[in-house]
Structure 1
Amino acid sequence: MKTAHDLVTAAKSHIQEIPLDLAQSDILRADILIDVREKDEFLNGHIAGAVHIPRGLLEFKLSATPEFGTRDLNIVLYCKSGGRAALCALALQEMGYLKVSSIAGGIDAWVESGRAVVKPEIIAFE
């Protein structure tokens, strides 16, 4: 029986992972940067310009959104440490997307290296 670690390891052998030192330039060239973490994780801080689409909804959102129908979009994915993004990258490749990559080490590595994250302002109406 395979573990989650086994699935991630297998996925990483079939996808392109972006080394952290090249991540910023790849993000700038991307058509879309997708954060595949859960909503609370995204709200606690994300890479500027990222679109939030949780892992469980990714294939459905991309399939249902005409702007994402083009299979030659340059897509960069990330999660907390790289596992979920690797699984998502493999799934998108299987859907026919040609230019998919994930950031090695995820947002944890991004933050550890001193790179900035943004947090959305939550407005309370009282």
Structure 2
Amino acid sequence: MKTPLDLVQAAKARITEVSLDAAEQALRDADVLIDVREADEFAAGHIPGALHFSRGMLEFKLAADPSLQRRDLQIVLYCKTSGRAALAAASLLDMGYVHVKSIAGGFDAWAAAGKPVNKPATPAFD
């Protein structure tokens, strides 16, 4: 029986994972940046410009949006640490998307490196 880790490792063997150093260029080249974490994770902070399509709804959201159906779109995905993004990238390859990348280390590595993060505004209680 395969474990989730086995599935992630198999996905990572099939996909293109970009290093944190190469991620900023990948984002500049991307047509779309997708955060596949859960809604509460996205709301707590995300990479600027990211769309939120949770891992469980990713394929359905892409299929429902005509602007995201071109199979030659440059897509960059990320999650918390890169496991869900790897699984998502493999799924998109299976759907026929040909330019799919995942950010190694995910959002945690991005934020730890001091890269830009959109966070919710803290209300002022004056």
Question: Which of the five TM-score ranges fits, normalised by the shorter chain?
Answer: over 0.9
Matched, 1:108 2:108: yes
List per-residue Cα deviations over 1:48-81 (Å, max 9, x = no partner).
0000000000000101111111000000000000
Compute the displacement of 1:12 (Å). 0.0
Residue number in structure 2 paired with 1:95: 95
TM-score scaled by length of structure 1: 0.94
- Structure 1 moving runs of 4+ over 3 Å: 120-123
Instruction: Tell me: CA distance 1:119–1:5, structure 2 relative to 1, closer, same or farther (3 Å).
Output: same
Q: Deviation of residue 121 (structure 1)?
A: 4.2
Q: Which consecutive residues of structure 1, in runs of 5 or more, have no partner in the other structure? A: none
Post-superposition shift, 1:105? 0.3
C-alpha separation in 2, matches of 1:55 and 1:74: 18
TM-score of the superposed pair, with normalisation by structure 2: 0.94
Task: Report the counterpart of residue 19 of structure 1 in structure 2.
Answer: 19
Distance 1:116 1:70 in 2: 28
CA offset at residue 103 of structure 1? 0.1
**Number of residues paired by the alignment?**
123
